[in-house]
Structures are given as C-alpha cells and as structure tokens.
Amino acid sequence: MGVLDRFSLQGRAALVTGAGRGIGYALAQALAEAGADVACVDLNEESARKAADDFATLGVRTMALQADVTRKDQVEATVAAVVGEWGRLDIGVNNAGIARGGKAEELSEEAWDAVLDVNLKSVFLCCQAEAHVMLPQGYGKIINTASMSATIVNRPQCQANYNAAKAGVVHLTRSCAAEWASRGVRVNCISPGHTVTPMTANMGDDVRAIWVSNTPMGRLGDPSDLQGAAVYQAAEASDYVTGLDLIVDGGYVLW
C-alpha cells in the first residue's frame, strides 16, 4: 500500500459535532473529500442539513442529526442513529464549542457553566459514547477540537473559562488515549490558533490586529488550514499516534 492510500477514508463512517459551520464544517468536508461517510451533527438542524446536503455532492453517504451534545441521552441517541444506519462508527470528531468570556473576577457562574458544558463536558460524553462502539470493534479514531488556549493565555481577551475548558480537553484526550490504546482506539486532538469563523467574526478590528501581530506567520488561520490535520488523525496513516495535541496556529505559541 502506498503512502497516499494510507490517507484514504473510503469505507469509513464518521460523525462530526458542530458540523454546521466554521471549523466543524471544514473538518467534516475534509473527511468527506477523503472518502468517509459523514454524519453532520449540530444544535441547529437547518445548518446540519445544509452541510449534509453539501457533502453528499462529493459522492459519499451523509446524514444530518440535531443534538444538544451537553445531554448524555442525546449524544447516545446520535451515535446510535449513525450505527443503526451505517452499521459502524470509525471516526468521531468532537468539535462543538462556544466562547463567552469576561474578566475572571467578574465572570458569572452561568457563563462558566455554559462554556465548560459545551467545550469540555460534551467532549467527554461524545468520547464515551463513541468508545462504546469503537472498543468492541477493536478500532476507531477519536479527534477532539481543543485550542492553543490550552497551552497559552490568549490576549487581549479575557476568557479563563474557555482556556480552562480547552486545557481540560487536551488532558481528557491524553487520558482516554492511554486507557484505550491497547484496545485499538486512538484519541488525539487538534488545537487551532486564532481562526476566522462565525464565532470570531464579532471581534473588533483592534483585537484581530493584536492576534495577527502575535502570530509569526502574520495572518489568522482559515478553517481549511485544519483539514489536513483532521484527515491525518482520522486515517490509517496515524495508526501509531495517540494522545497527540496537534497545534495548528501559525506559530502563535512560539512567542
């Protein structure tokens, strides 16, 4: 088998949360282009449906699923729907996330809980439900979306809740990777830098200028910059890789 063949996802079944827009959409698109069947999961059913329709034009099977991934019952039902339709689940991309920042001394309990629930609790629930399918199969790839905010403290925005949640995602990834490595399930994460998405679109030009000035490559990321990392982590090419936090940030964490 040639090296490029080892990046093919033909015949694999994938699930991507937060697939309706931004980074999640880009990651789901990449998996579909590499040949995987993709279930697009999003809180917004219309966005999930549009993404699924878009990716169906690539010649793969798709489905759209609406779910609140902070709810264990809905996560389990989502995974069950994929397995019920396609008979297996090979790739789980746990990407759904939100940002609600504020100064640490002023941050509300509600904002803390909301960010930790979506950005960390949901990742655990998804990992757990996906593992219940993958461990009996003896093979699977789980990819969590973390952030360079797990490694550094961003500026100028204050977001202690977001930073803590993403640091939790990285260590949760390592913990699951260690537990499941001997049973064929690889667990890795991707840590984007500042990326142009609908979630960052409302940041002011002054903030974005600071982000760019702090990035050695001198630009913000595009969701497409993350696609190669996702295909690599999902593919056979990374079968000897687990517990990896792959930072894709234009060099931001170097300074």
Positions annotated as catalytic residues are 147, 162, 166
What 8-state DSSP symbol labels residue 6?
Answer: G
Local structure of 207: helix, strand or coil: helix
Q: Is-contact 42 19, C-beta < 8 A?
A: yes
Local structure of 187: helix, strand or coil: strand
Residue 17 CB: number of other CB atoms within 10 A?
31
Local structure of 189: helix, strand or coil: strand
Rounded-to-integer distance, Cα 212 and Cα 194, Å:
9
Angle between helices 72-86 and 122-137 (to 10 degrees): 30
Residue 145 phi, psi dihedral angles, 5° rounding: -90, 110
Q: Is-contact 103 152, C-beta < 8 A?
A: no
- Integer angstrom CA distances of residue 166 from 5, 39, 160, 204: 33, 24, 10, 23
